[in-house]
Structure 1
Amino acid sequence: MSSTDPVSMPDGLSPEEVGLVRDHLKEVITSRAFGGSKRAQDFLQLIVEHALAGRFDSLRERMIGAEMFGRPIDYDTSNDAVVRVKATEVRRKLAQYYQESGKKPAVRIELPIGSYVPKFQWESLEASAQPSVETESPAIAKETPAPVASEEMPKAEIHEPPRLSGEKSRVLVGVLLGLGLIAIIGYAGFKSWFKDSDGGREIRSIAILPLENLSGDSGQDYFADGITEELTADLGQVSALRVISRTSAMTYKGTKKTLPEIARELGVGAIVEGSVVREGNQVRITVQLIDARTDDHIWAHNYVRDLTSVLALQGEVAQAIADEISINVTPQEQARLARASPVNREAHDLYLQGIYLLNQGDPKSAVGYLQKAIDEDPSYARAHAALANGYGWMGEAGWLAYTEAFPRQKSEATKAIELDHSLPQGHAELANAVMNLSWDWTNAEKELQRALELNSNLASVHTTYAFYLQRLGRLPEAIAEVKQVLDLDPVSSRSFYSAGIVYYFARQYDRALSQLQRAHVLEPHPPNFLFPFESGVIYAQKGMYGKAVGEFQKLGDQPHALGHMGNVYARMERVSEARGTIVKLEEHVKKNGIGRYEIALVYAGLGEKDEAFTWLEKSYDARDKGLTYLKIDPCMDPLRSDPRFGRLVRRVGLPL
């Protein structure tokens, strides 16, 4: 609406005071606080002009939704919170403007919570005696009690609107006729307007920020975080859309950064934020879709469902987001998003606690919750896949014997696929199991490729595929995959750890160390052994033996660290200390069945080839995971010229 349109003067304001309001409005909407948000500018100008004209009936939620956002005049405000969300944004930007400006304007514009009628506060003594527009308007009642995470809307007292006569009634009739035309044009027209208004640039990348836990109980964080992760995974099934990994998105939990700042760091065009709360047997999710370039709210919606329907709800939300940004969703993807069986409430809660612990780096505790979830509901495919991940993690880290960890991983992954063949996590876990357990490289690659067909946005699967490729010596492909990981998970320490591993085996040690240092900046105190172990092996290959030993010593008697520390001692010609690590590793083999490959590493460093091959044969008999790195492990270089080495590589199924 143009500020020069003729309007009626509201009671109590002179033409000069109306002019002051408009002049100040212009300062506000052209300020830094409002400069990046055309929608917020338009919203504030619309409500101020309606208030100045005395058109208070136009300042109701449905009327604003229809006039500004193209909603039908009778749209369901309980499920579409776009006006409330935009009002919250405008309040925030007004507060920011007055905080930053440092000025004392003659009039101050406020938007009280619970109302869409702006309030004009006069600063001068003379002006302060004048009534504000709000005192002359009816209180505007909130049209729906549905809560919105970002805005508390207390119930306002409802008054009868003032009777309209003459000119005002004709204006209202004209407005309603115009709104009827908007309803006919429909919301599709609004979406087209939105796309055209910024040059037609389409959104092709998105991040789902951690949903806010509105329960008031921090012990329920696992529930909100779990729903965030599940929603991210579901939306990631849309192959035309780049969806940022949950691990990167979670770094912004509780952040004070602005959405445009977050979007720049993640390289996305849109942000999803919102809240979740359990209410008895129901779950309420509020989501808001925001144009990250302008901080404008595109869409908002409230969902209330029974907890048994939560999986279907996640797919519904993902489909709605895809629809709003007009991204192409294939028929197969639509079918997968729509396909969700009812879930046992107790099993789902245990599952969410389990994946929360996995994400906290505690697979040992996680497997207990996940097994309980399966006991509650044996048909819960996602719980089987998550349990497979927990066992695989413990096997990879050496916390559980390979002979126990990987068979369990394979069993749970196989069950997950039987229950839901379209579950990408199931295929990824099966790939990891057959790669480590049976060295079935052909089927491992098929399962990984199937997982990526189902969800190309899973950074964890790209990581597993990168590790698969490097073990086969396909290092350029492995590097390409890890670059995909960094693209999908750009501010997660895990991504840079993964990149460091790939560059280490590609023998690009300086680049590997650089990736590791970036990981350390993002997570100075990682909850596991990754940083000291990876630092140690890189320092060792760079000939920085003292630093390498220092890193390995931080890990105590952890078998992987002992093996590499013994190898470094051997290279330093500290033979007795190298043999001391062998003694400790032999104890690990007796007690835990772990450490055979590491003993071979130490003997390789000592130059005792026959002993090294003896332990490599023992590793082969035990299906030791370490042998899967035989082809590319730089610590095995002293053995490569021996014919026994090539024969062993082939027996593991790796190409020479």
Structure 2
Amino acid sequence: MQRGNQRFSPAALWGELRRRKVVRVFLGYGAVSLVLIEGANNVFPVLGVPDAASRVLVWVLLAGLPIAIFLAWRFDVVPDRGTDAAKIDPEPVDLPTDRIAVLPFRDMSAGKTDEYFADGLTEDIIAKLSTLPAFNVVSRTSVMGFRDTQESAAAIGRELRAGSILEGSVRRASERVRVVAQLVDVNTDRSVWTETYDRDLEDLLALQSDIATSVARGLQTSLTSEDEARLSAGSDADPKAYDLYLRARHLWNTRSVEGLRESRALLERARDLDPNYPGAHAALATSLATTGLYNLQPPDETMAAALAAAERALDLDPKFVEALNARGLVECIWKWEWDQGGRTFEEAIAASPSDVVARQWYALNCLAPQGRLTEAEAALQVARSLDPLSPIVRASEAFLAYLRRDMAQAREILDAVLADDAPPPIAYLFQGYIGEFQGRHEDARRAFRRARAVGGATVEALASLAANHALCGNEVEAQEMLEELLVIAARSYVSSGLIARVHAALGDWGQARERWREAVTSRSADLIWVGVSPMYDFARDRPVWREVVDAVGAYAPTDDP
């Protein structure tokens, strides 16, 4: 039997008939039909119903049988859910059990006030498992989409291509916490093990190590002494510092300006409360470095502090991947030490092979600015396999296609990202860049306005909108937006590099040179793109363009864009 280009063997067909409950529906339908026919034969004569009615009933029931079988095949029959079978592989596939998805642990508190706590526990277990080379761990972004889902573990596993699912719940009361965890084999839809942990809050970090160890043992994976050391690292933090850390990570995940600011304050408190907790230092380094990456504060106010926090975390735990990621980011986008930054990211990937941030930042903030786009694509492909549902990873793939000047692919990827319910704001910015390159300037301006409206890239969107008007000859609109940009810069930080691009687009090369030199002095994060991004193609024949590219040192200019 064949459906589409997929073929069933007799054994596979029988297994699929059983999985879709077709056999059960056939037997159940037959049993109910017999009861109805027998009842009709007994009741109809008493009621004076003609004999023909019994024959009609038999024919109706026979006609309904193929319909019932079709519906059973078309839709999976499972408790509380009907799933379109077209969305499920027709033939059962043995998914690798060493690929694990840790679903968001359910918050069982009375008022659902401990979501940050449950999410933090989930993320830390993911991080623990990611350090084990034997496992391929689905990243946070993809699994968080299944919070409060009604889908079965088996269905989620098939969607994430993960053969093992870890799920559980958390209930915190006073100074105690109860965690119930279950490991499910997706291929059999059976529990491998279930465990209930009742611990004091001060033992919570050790509990994460215990759960990760139980997962490994449940999958019959041998742990080396180095693996065990990785799992137990940082398990003795002060409980109050750890709670602040969890609250800060919850805020950081919003990626909002306010969220980053509040996250930093909480992490500074956690660091002061427990100076020997590497997680607080590493998360603080990430918060500071991300603030610099997004051009939200002057680099000299964030990057040096980020580097110091990362180094302190690494003094406490030399393989703490989050600290390595932050250090690699600072070395690339602020210190412009490209070789050293690359080595740091490679060290992070070796320390935690399933860490998506390491591969994404390495691709986008180290390899791509150097024009090493093929290597960057390879790194992002691995990130995509680890985090298949991440809109940020997919948007990053679109941006790499843009840098390659493959606008058809960039647009195709980005259209899919923007079709999501809540696309990242930066996706609209990328959409504007692509439209501008293709000469669809109205579309580009519409995308830049959208990026500005949804937030997250407000200043960069305004600068891009102004530059687009300038390049299209709309000098009045461009000047008005430049003035608005300068007003914003008078009260809060705006990268001089963004202002320089608007001046350059207006043809004011003197002001552009002055602003770009200011940006070089402060080491603005946006300068890493001057050499490789199509948005600077109009300036490539100008001496100031080469001056900036040489200063950044990432990219060796050629005659071809």
TM interval, shorter chain, is 0.7 to 0.9
Alpha-carbon contact 1:604-1:635 (below 8 Å) kept: no
CA contact (8 A) 1:270 1:290 kept: yes
User: Cα distance 1:478–1:201, how it changes in 2: closer, same or farther (>3 A)?
Assistant: closer
Q: Partner residue of 1:482?
A: 380
- Please give the residue correspondences for 1:394-409 in structure 2 after superposition, counting only pairs within 5 Å: 394-409=291-306
- Partners of 1:453 and 1:31 in 2: how far apart? 41
What secondary structure is seen at the aligned counterpart in 1 of 2:182?
Answer: strand
Residue identity in the other structure for 2:484 = K
Distance in 2 (CA, whole Å) between partners of 1:34 and 1:360 is 44
Which of 364, 368, 377 does residue 274 from structure 2 map onto?
377
| Pick aligned residue for 2:210 from 309, 316, 324 | 316
Q: What runs of 5+ residues in structure 1 fail to find an aligned partner?
A: 1-29, 37-92, 107-197
Give the Cα–Cα distance (whole angstroms) in 1 for the partners of residues 314 and 349 of structure 2: 15
Q: TM-score, normalised on structure 2? A: 0.79
Structure 1: how far apart are the matches of 2:269 and 2:28?
A: 57
Cα offset for 1:101?
A: 5.8
Equivalent residue number for residue 541 of structure 1: 437
Show CA shifts across 1:67-104 (max 9, x none). xxxxxxxxxxxxxxxxxxxxxxxxxx9xxx89x96788
Choose 611-620 or 326-335, whichever is displaced more.
326-335
Distance in 2, matches of 1:480 and 1:385, equals 27
Aligned-partner Cα distance in 2 for 1:655–1:534: 21
User: 2:104 touches 2:146 (CA, 8 Å); kept in 1?
Assistant: yes
Once the 2 structures are TM-superposed, how far is the Cα of residue 458 of structure 1 from its aligned partner? 1.0
Shift of 1:249: 0.4
In the alignment, which residue of structure 2 is the partner of 1:325?
Answer: 219
8 Å Cα contact 2:142/2:388 also seen in 1: yes
Show the 5 A alignment for 1:437-516.
Answer: 437-467=334-364, 468-516=366-414
Q: 1:510 to 1:331 in 2, by over 3 A?
A: farther
3-state SS, counterpart of residue 380 of structure 2 = helix
Query: What is the percent sequence identity of the aligned residues?
Result: 28
1:577 to 1:334, Cα distance in 2 relative to 1, 3 A:
same
* Alpha-carbon distance, 1:395 to partner: 2.3
1:388 aligns with 2:282: no
1-side partners of 2:543 and 2:473: how far apart? Answer: 26
Question: Aligned partners of 2:16, 2:254: CA distance in 1, in Å?
Answer: 39
Q: Does 1:248 align with 2:142?
A: yes
Compute the displacement of 1:402 (Å): 2.3
Q: CA deviation at 1:236?
A: 0.7
* CA pair 105-199 structure 1, distance change in 2 beyond 3 A: same
Contact kept in structure 1, 2:245 and 2:266, CA below 8 Å = yes
Instruction: Report matched runs for 1:88-167 at 5 Å.
Output: none
| CA gap 1:600/1:281 in 2 versus in 1, 3 angstroms | same
Residues in 2 aligned to 1:643 and 1:473: alpha-carbon distance in whole angstroms? 20
- Tell me the distance in 1 between the aligned counterparts of 2:215 and 2:124: 14
Q: In 2 relative to 1, CA 328–547 (structure 1 residues): closer, same or farther, beyond 3 Å?
A: farther
- Could you say what secondary structure the match of 1:275 adopts? strand
Q: Establish whether residue 598 from structure 1 lines up as the match of residue 493 from structure 2.
A: no
Residues 319-354 of structure 1, C-alpha deviations (whole Å, 9 max, x = no match): 221122133544422221133442211111111111
**Contact 2:234–2:279, Cα closer than 8 Å, also in 1:** no
- How far apart in 2 are the matches of 1:570 and 1:540? 12
- What pairs up with 1:632-647 in 2 under 5 angstroms? 632-647=532-547
Contact persistence 1:259–1:271 (CA under 8 A): yes
Q: Distance between the aligned counterparts of 1:566 and 1:241, measured in 2?
A: 48
Match of 2:163 in 1: 269
Contact 2:462 2:481 in 1 (8 A): yes
User: Offset of 1:245 from its aligned partner?
Assistant: 0.3
Contact 2:248 2:263 in 1 (8 A): yes
- Give the aligned partner of residue 348 of structure 1: 242
Residue 291 of structure 1, aligned match among 185, 188, 204: 185
SS in 2 for 1:305: strand
Q: Give the Å deviation of 1:405.
A: 2.3
**What per-residue deviation string (whole Å, max 9, x for no partner) do you get for residues 141-180 of structure 1?**
xxxxxxxxxxxxxxxxxxxxxxxxxxxxxxxxxxxxxxxx
Q: 1:200 to 1:643 in 2, by over 3 A?
A: closer
Bigger CA drift: 585-594 or 245-254? 585-594
Question: How much does 1:32 deviate?
Answer: 8.5
In the other structure, the counterpart of 1:13 is none
Q: Tell me the distance in 2 between the aligned counterparts of 1:199 and 1:101.
A: 28
- Structure 2 counterpart of 1:561, from 437, 443, 461: 461
Residue 570 of structure 1: aligned partner = 470
Partner SS, residue 113 of structure 2? helix
- Separation (CA, whole Å) in 1 of partners of 2:295 and 2:542: 29
CA–CA separation in structure 2 for the residues paired with 1:292 and 1:395: 42
Out of 176, 197, 203, the residue aligned to residue 97 of structure 2 is: 203
In structure 2, which of residues 496, 514, 518 is the aligned counterpart of residue 614 of structure 1? 514
Q: Which residue type is aligned with residue 433 of structure 2?
A: V
Q: Classify 1:399/1:264 alpha carbon distance in 2 versus 1 (closer, same or farther; 3 Å).
A: same
Partner of residue 78, structure 1: none
Q: Distance in 2 between matches of 1:560 and 1:274?
A: 41
Deviation at 1:568, TM superposition (A): 0.8
The residue identity in structure 1 corresponding to 2:161 is G
Partner of 2:173: 279
Give the C-alpha shift of residue 209 in structure 1.
Answer: 0.6
Tell me which residue corresponds to 1:436: 333
The farther-off stretch of 642-651 and 364-373 is 642-651
Which whole-Å deviations, capped at 9, do the CAs of 1:520-551 have from their partners, x for residues lacking one? 333x234x632322221221112111111122
Q: Which has the larger radius of gyration?
A: 1
Residues 588-615 of structure 1, C-alpha deviations (whole Å, 9 max, x = no match): 3333342311122223323444433232
The structural deviation recorded for 1:371 is 2.1
Alignment CA distance shift 1:330-1:541 (3 Å): farther
Structure 1: distance between partners of 2:254 and 2:200: 28
Q: Which residue of 2 aligns with 1:582?
A: 482
Task: Tell me the matched-pair count.
Answer: 476
Q: What is the one-letter code of the residue matched to 2:549?
A: V
Per-residue CA distance 1:341-379 (angstroms, 9 max, x = gap)? 422111111111111112233222222222222232222
Unaligned residue ranges in structure 2 (runs of 5+): 1-13, 34-91, 557-561
Aligned equivalents of 1:288 and 1:561: distance in 2?
46
Q: Does 1:652 align with 2:552?
A: yes
TM-score when normalising by structure 1: 0.68
1:551 to 447, 451, 457: 447
Residues 33 and 351 (structure 1), Cα distance of their counterparts in 2 relative to 1, 3 Å cut: farther
SS of the equivalent of 1:218 reads coil
Contact map agreement 2:295 2:525 (CA 8 A) in 1: no
- Go from structure 1 to structure 2 and tell me whether the alpha carbon gap of 1:200 and 1:623 turns closer, same or farther (over 3 Å shift): closer
| Other structure's SS at 1:438 match | coil
Find the counterpart in structure 1 of residue 323 from structure 2: 426
SS of residue matched to 1:290 = strand
Conservation of the 8 A alpha-carbon contact between 2:466 and 2:482? yes
* Cα distance between partner residues in 2 of 1:565 and 1:220: 42
Change (3 A) 1:330 1:544: farther
Confirm or deny: 8 A CA contact 1:604 1:636 kept in the other structure.
Answer: no
| Alpha-carbon distance, 1:31 to partner | 10
Q: Distance in 2 between matches of 1:328 and 1:631?
A: 48
| 1:122 equivalent in structure 2 | none
Q: 1:448 to 1:401 in 2, by over 3 A?
A: same
- Structure 2 CA distance for aligned equivalents of residues 303 and 480 of structure 1: 40
Distance in 1 between the 2:515 and 2:93 partners? 65
- Distance, in Å, in 1 between the alignment partners of 2:372 and 2:15 is 54
Distance 1:267 1:374 in 2: 38
* Structure 1 residues 271 and 633: CA distance shift in structure 2, 3 A: same
Deviates more, 1:537-546 or 1:330-339: 330-339
Cα shift at 1:500 = 2.1
Tell me the distance in 2 between the aligned counterparts of 1:320 and 1:463.
Answer: 29
Please report how far the alpha carbon of residue 651 of structure 1 lies from its aligned counterpart in structure 2 after TM superposition: 1.9
